[in-house]
Every structure is written in C-alpha cells, then in structure tokens.
Amino acid sequence: MAINQFPAEAGPGADRKTTLSSSLRQRILTMQIAPGSVLDEVALSEEFGLSRPPVREAMRQLAGEGFIELEANRPARVTSMNYQSLRDFFLVAPLIYVATTRLAAEVATKADIATLREIQDNFRDAVQSGNIDGRVFYNDQFHLRIGEIANNAYLLPSLRRLLIDHARIGKIFYRPNNSQMHEELEEASRQHDEIIDAIANHDADRGEILIRAHLDLSRKNMAMYAAPEGLQIPVGI
C-alpha cells in the first residue's frame, strides 16, 4: 500500500480534484484551516484550477468522511470542535482503537507490518526534527493503517472520524517549548514501535494494553493544557 506523502503536492498528471481533497484533508488535520472555518468555493476553484461542480463534489466526499459540515443554503464549513466533541472523543476512542488494534493483531501480514514500520519511521523523524505538522500527519496515517489492516466495515468509518479530532487535539494542545511534552512524544514514538511488535506477533492482549497507554498520553497532554499548575507567587510579595 502506498503511503500518503506530506505535504500533498500535485504530481505529474495528478487529478486536480484528488489533489484538492488530499490538500483539504491535510490542512484540516494540521489545523491550517481552523475548526468551524468557512470554505470558499471560489478561492478553491481558482487555487486548484477547477470549476465549481468538481469542488462541490469534493466537498460532499469530505463531508461524508467527517471533515466538513454541509447544510442547505449555507457555505461549507470545517467540522467544528467544542467541549462536547472533546468529551465524546475521549469517551469513545478507547473502544474503537482497542477493537481495531486487536483485529489487526489477528490478521496482519508481513507486508502490513512493513508498511506500518515505514509510516513509523516517518513519524519518528518528524518528532525528532520538530516537524509538528508532519508528526500530526504520520500519527494519523499510523492509526488509520491499523484500522485498514483490521478491515472491519463497521469500525473503519468510526476510526476515520475519530482520527480527524485526534489530529486536531494533538495540534491544539501541543506546546513546542514544553520539555515534558517532548519527552511524552518520544514515549509515544516508542509505544508505536511496541504496538507494531505486538501486531506482528499477533498478540492482541499486548496490543490492547499498549493502545490504552497511548491514548492516556493524549489525555494527559490535554489535561496539562486545560488545567495547568498555577503561577507561583514569589516569597516576600
């Protein structure tokens, strides 16, 4: 399976509508386009050299995937995020991630493992180089590939929707100058390696333990940002 590259570029002979869709997915995942933002059809038509109908067709496709919200007589908007969506994510994410990881561990082939390791190499490089958008993108690709390996028609759509907010949560709450967060990113990268090993060894129980710990890191980072320790008042003031 070919791995999507970051950032999206139109290669020789690339279909413009496909390039538009890929670019919008990446811009939304990496928060280059903020949640709730209006998408300008005219501007997108001009940027990608398309007429309005294929732009609207791409919008409908992305709406079906959960990236965009479409309402009658209203402009297309990037799917919003709020307190309820964050709560729903952390409530349901363990169910979906655990299920897809366990299923992947049961059926993964050597070729599947090789693809996961390739994605993980890109993720590790992004973490070590401080490439925030690359890290977000390849983390998304890592978990999506596990879902594709699991190959369950009921779970994969839910996983795809979860991954949109997983990526955006990671971008919102990451602070590049926070040494603790950097250490936790290194830990997340190590967990990826261990998850791959568990899937390669068809060890579903080990995979479940690891994916739960992996999600706990995301929850910890969000809590650190939302409820920071209070500022210390110097003694004597």
- Give the number of domains in the chain: 2
Pick from 78, 98, 131: which residue ends a domain?
Answer: 78
Q: Are residues 119 and 71 in the same domain?
A: no
Q: What is the CATH number of the domain that holds 149?
A: 1.20.120.530
Task: Give CA 89 to chain center in angstroms.
Answer: 12
Q: Are residues 102 and 32 in the same domain?
A: no
Structure tokens belonging to residue 200: 């390669």
Q: Are 169 and 222 in contact (CB under 8 A)?
A: yes
Q: Are residues 120 and 207 in the same domain?
A: yes
Task: Give CA 218 to chain center in angstroms.
Answer: 12
Q: Are residues 106 and 199 in the same domain?
A: yes
235 is a domain residue: no
6 is a domain residue: no
Whether pTM > 0.85 for this model: the answer is no
Strand 77-78 relative to strand 68-69, pairing = antiparallel
Measured between its terminal Cα atoms, the distance across the chain in Å is 62
CA nearest 192: which of 113, 110, 108? 113
Residues 40 and 16: their CA atoms lie apart, in Å, by 17
Question: Within 13 Å of residue 81, how many CA atoms lie on the same side as its CB?
Answer: 21
Q: Are residues 215 and 116 in the same domain?
A: yes
Q: What is the pLDDT of residue 172?
A: 75
The parent domain of residue 58 ranges over 16-78
Q: What is the pLDDT of residue 229?
A: 61
Tell me the Cα Rg of the chain.
Answer: 19
Q: What is the pLDDT of residue 8?
A: 45
Q: Are residues 153 and 108 in the same domain?
A: yes
Residues 206 and 106: their CA atoms lie apart, in Å, by 12
Q: What is the pLDDT along the chain (237 residues), one digit of tens a residue?
A: 444 445 444 444 458 899 999 999 999 998 899 999 999 999 999 999 999 999 999 999 999 999 999 988 889 999 998 888 888 888 899 999 999 999 999 999 999 999 999 999 999 999 999 888 888 889 999 999 999 999 999 999 999 999 999 888 877 776 666 666 778 888 999 999 999 999 999 999 999 999 999 988 877 766 665 555 665 666 665
